[in-house]
Structure 1
Amino acid sequence: MVRSISVPVLARLALGGARVGIDRVDDAMIVLLAARRRLVSAVGPAKRATDAPLRDAGREERVHERARNLAARLRVPASSADHLIDTLITDACMQQAMHPGAKADGAGASANTHRQDQRRDRLLRLIPPPRRWRGALSLVPRAVLDTFAERALSTTLASSLQDDWLAPVQRRRVGIEVVDLGLSWVLEVDGERLRRSRGPAEAMVRGSATDLLLLTSRLEDADTLFFQRRLMLTGDVELGLTVRNLLDRLPWETLPLGVRIALHRAARGLRAARDAHATVV
């Protein structure tokens, strides 16, 4: 007589097998990191010989862009790809800084890096958080802010509008509220154009200026932001879920490169400033 295997036993076997697989993938990642570091070791001397700077913002942005494109094809969150590439770039910079003139134990480089981080944090804390911009923005005529927001969003979504990417929300009123700036708009997709609507929002997306910009620049994915309640959806549940799915699927690669670079730098700057303010006790 064949004895059946209980569900808990099967679950433990599946868990054990998955963990073995994860360990093998982790091993492969370390091997790939070692291979990357060997290549980086040839880059440092070449940079010094040509007086090239240690950091190349354009090159780093292209590396991030390649990673995001591959991540999108493999259904990996863009934020996870960005965090991984940031870690690899930081490791490469530290490796290149450790040329023969540096201390062998790395103490000098570590101390210098720590001082640079402290200076950076002090400078970032000079950037006021978005909530402090609210008073200044209140002096700007609302019509100017509305026109700017409509044009900025229309430019960002231009290709999506032409390709019917936003067809599921045609003629539906979706609101955006930037809570720390005290700004909100109700928008409606009308054919191949995005326009402001005077009617009430059927669904509303609420979040801080920083988190909304991180979402727009694809440095954070919608699922993470909504799960952590840094973004919130209210109103029509079905429409809200449709909007949430569209935010994750918008064809970011169709934006002009200059716009993508500007969005990334602004989002990273605001995120870094927020983190620096958060470290103040």
Structure 2
Amino acid sequence: METPRGLPPFPLSPTGPAQHIASGTLVGARHAIDHVDDAVVALAGLRRRLVGAVHRSKRVAGLPVRDGEREAGVLSRARRVAARVAVPGDTADALMHALMSDACRQQVQAGNAGPRPAVRISMSTPVASRSFSAARLLRLLPPPRRLRPLLRRLPRVAHEPLAERILARAVRRVDPVTLDLVRGRRLGIELEDLGLAWVFAWSGERLLACHEPAEATVRGSATDLFLLASRQEDADTLFFQRRLILTGDVELGLTVRNLLDRLPWEDLPLGLRIVLHRGSHLLRAARDAHRA
């Protein structure tokens, strides 16, 4: 009897291993989305704080609430960023229109509330208040270690290809002759707080993930590795403070680090630079807020 076209030859059992993995992946992905949604709302709250400062400045300067040129610039900028991170333009438009509408409504409501009573201007209290509010918002972002149980449930095929692609884009501008120094060598990267670890090797043509033991491993927190990748922290400082640890073949680890140090920051793809730069700032600010 022939198998109907379009169906697998051996239907999977509803309780089979594939369904078990898919179920775990679904639960983990939804949990991660919930945390991302929390962060988006927290950032929207931070944006409203900044809009309040803009409104007060406009009121003093006698400027109207709406600024067509500024709004067009916001939409244009959002579309450029969206194109670099594979977000549809209409999605970016809808998001920015919602945020700008909320900002206008916020400013109109503040204007209708009438002038505020005069207060004595202090050089320390407003700054401390703003810092406290920003810290409260940043604490809503879950620290990376809380995501570890979730990420452990994801199969390697769910995150390894993404890590491989990001690193491959980062090193594609490095001189191939220089990369021949590490041809076939295996370097491991371990994010301790997230519980993620990968091993990569340069094949002579491209960077590939492999499942063989690493010859050298760089281990540290996701935040510190982000800071290193975005050039916000110096490698020597991170290693000296033991925030990053190199194990195994130290010579190989130092060779790779020196190769990456020679890579001009401006040669990295613009979208990757934006993600690294802004992501590292956000992670460091969130970590500082949690420690406080």
Residues 189 and 159 (structure 1), Cα distance of their counterparts in 2 relative to 1, 3 Å cut: same
Is residue 185 from structure 1 mapped to residue 201 from structure 2 by the alignment?
Answer: no
Aligned to 1:131: 145
Aligned to 2:283: 270
Amino acid at match of 1:158: R
Aligned to 1:234: 247
Q: Distance in 1 between matches of 2:243 and 2:63?
A: 45
Aligned to 2:215: 202
Aligned to 1:145: 159
Aligned to 1:11: none
Q: Distance in 2 between matches of 1:165 and 1:111?
A: 54
Is residue 158 from structure 1 mapped to residue 187 from structure 2 by the alignment?
Answer: no
Is residue 116 from structure 1 mapped to residue 130 from structure 2 by the alignment?
Answer: yes
Residues 164 and 122 (structure 1), Cα distance of their counterparts in 2 relative to 1, 3 Å cut: farther
Q: Distance in 2 between matches of 1:209 and 1:164?
A: 30
Query: Are the counterparts in 1 of residues 169 and 269 from structure 2 also a CA contact under 8 Å?
Result: no
Structure 1 residue 197: deviation in Å?
1.9
Amino acid at match of 2:221: S
Runs of 4+ with deviation above 6 angstroms: 49-53
Query: Are the counterparts in 2 of residues 166 and 189 from structure 1 also a CA contact under 8 Å?
Result: yes
Structure 1 residue 217: deviation in Å?
0.7
Q: Distance in 2 between matches of 1:255 and 1:140?
A: 29
Amino acid at match of 1:179: E
Residues 192 and 116 (structure 1), Cα distance of their counterparts in 2 relative to 1, 3 Å cut: same
Q: Secondary structure at the match of 1:186?
A: strand
Residues 117 and 155 (structure 1), Cα distance of their counterparts in 2 relative to 1, 3 Å cut: same
Aligned to 2:90: none
Structure 1 residue 214: deviation in Å?
0.6
Amino acid at match of 2:159: L
Query: Are the counterparts in 1 of residues 151 and 195 from structure 2 also a CA contact under 8 Å?
Result: no
Q: Distance in 1 between matches of 2:182 and 2:62?
A: 56
Is residue 249 from structure 1 mapped to residue 249 from structure 2 by the alignment?
Answer: no
Give the stretch that moved more between structures: 207-216 or 250-259.
250-259
Query: Are the counterparts in 2 of residues 221 and 248 from structure 1 also a CA contact under 8 Å?
Result: no
Residues 236 and 135 (structure 1), Cα distance of their counterparts in 2 relative to 1, 3 Å cut: same
Q: Distance in 2 between matches of 1:230 and 1:258?
A: 27
Total equivalences in the alignment = 186
Query: Are the counterparts in 2 of residues 207 and 232 from structure 1 also a CA contact under 8 Å?
Result: yes
What residue ranges of structure 1 are gaps of 5+ in the alignment? Answer: 1-43, 58-102
Give the stretch that moved more between structures: 189-198 or 237-246.
237-246
Amino acid at match of 1:139: R
Residues 164 and 130 (structure 1), Cα distance of their counterparts in 2 relative to 1, 3 Å cut: farther
Q: Secondary structure at the match of 2:168?
A: helix
Structure 1 residue 167: deviation in Å?
2.9
How many percent of aligned residue pairs carry the same amino acid?
55
Q: Distance in 2 between matches of 1:110 and 1:276?
A: 19
Structure 1 residue 163: deviation in Å?
4.5
Residue by residue over 1:198-222, the C-alpha shift from the partner in whole angstroms, topping out at 9 and shown as x without a partner, is 2211111001000011111111111
Residues 192 and 124 (structure 1), Cα distance of their counterparts in 2 relative to 1, 3 Å cut: same
Query: Are the counterparts in 1 of residues 238 and 244 from structure 2 also a CA contact under 8 Å?
Result: yes
Q: Distance in 1 between matches of 2:179 and 2:145?
A: 31
Q: Distance in 2 between matches of 1:49 and 1:157?
A: 51
Q: Distance in 2 between matches of 1:106 and 1:260?
A: 39
Residue by residue over 1:143-179, the C-alpha shift from the partner in whole angstroms, topping out at 9 and shown as x without a partner, is 111111111211222212x554433212111111111
Residues 164 and 252 (structure 1), Cα distance of their counterparts in 2 relative to 1, 3 Å cut: farther
Q: Secondary structure at the match of 2:173?
A: helix
